[in-house]
Amino acid sequence: MASQRGEGETTATPLEPADRERARAIPEAAVARLAVYLRVLSGMADQGVTAVSSEELSQAAGVNAAKLRKDLSYIGSYGTRGVGYDVEVLVSHIERILGLTRNHSVAVVGIGNLGHALANYGGFPGRGFPVTALFDVDADLIGVPVGGIPVSHIDDITAVCLEREVSIGVIATPPPAAQSVCDRLVSAGVQCILNFAPVVLQVPDNVEVRKVDLAVEMQILSFHVARRADEAASVSAGIVSAGNNGLGVDGMVIRP
């Protein structure tokens, strides 16, 4: 772990003390939205847009305008009253806060269907996240290049991750292997993990895990399908909920 990391100010990512305290205070939900704003803003910049108001940007991002302004205020005051925000300025500040000024090397573990898809994503979404290592257990895969990177054996995970300074590990293995893979990533010094396996990972406090769970997403949708179907049944039976929340009682269009 004796790489560039240690000596604070000499490295890249120069975050001012004021920004540092701000970064600490940004709510997780706001961080997620900042990433969305960034994408929208980048798109605007590509189209030659130079300035934008909170109203326009919030619509494009699908959020409330006040919320957007508050989110932006977490990272500082970079707007101009009466005018709006400068797109370039906003982009660069959000990138800085999100730590996108530095590259984050990514390792994908588990080169099945999903692993292939991830490895081939090419430059990885939004760039700045180069995939530099792939791992699997299958002997037939070892050494085979996928998306330009040869697959390594999972037993070499520590050495390879350290060597290539992997900062984000992506777990795309079958469920039973996930915890073990996670442990290995952690002992290789990886502190951020994106988990696609439908498993609740146990990790030390200093490791950040985010999970993408297809089954859960599907089931949440299923819940809504069921709720809708059920409401429709109620309506067709002439039942109307007495305790209606104030969402507007207008006849929501429901197909027979």
Partner DNA sequence: TACCGCTTGTGAACGCATGCACAAAGTCGG
Partner DNA sequence: CCGACTTTGTGCATGCGTTCACAAGCGGTA
Binding site for DNA (CB under 7 A): 27-30, 53-55, 63-67, 69-70, 72-73, 77-85, 246
Max distance between CA atoms of the chain, in angstroms, equals 71
The residue length of the chain stands at: 256
Query: Of the candidates 82, 139, 245, 246, which one interacts with its own copies according to CB under 8 A?
Result: 245
**CA torsion through residues 56, 60, 65, 68, sign:** negative
User: Side chain identity at 97, as an amino acid letter?
Assistant: I
In whole angstroms, how close is the CB of 56 to DNA at the nearest point? 8
- CA dist 235 and 240 (Å) reads 6
Nearer to DNA, 77 or 206 (CB): 77
Query: What is the x/- site pattern for its own copies, positions 68-107, by CB under 8 A?
Result: -----------------------------xxxx-x-x-x-
Q: Which does 84 bind (CB under 5 to 8 A by kind): DNA, its own copies, none?
A: DNA
Please list the helix, strand and coil fractions of the chain in percent, rounded to the nearest 5, in that order: 45, 15, 40
Nearer to its own copies, 6 or 48 (CB): 6
In whole angstroms, how close is the CB of 70 to its own copies at the nearest point? 17
- CA dist 32 and 74 (Å) reads 13
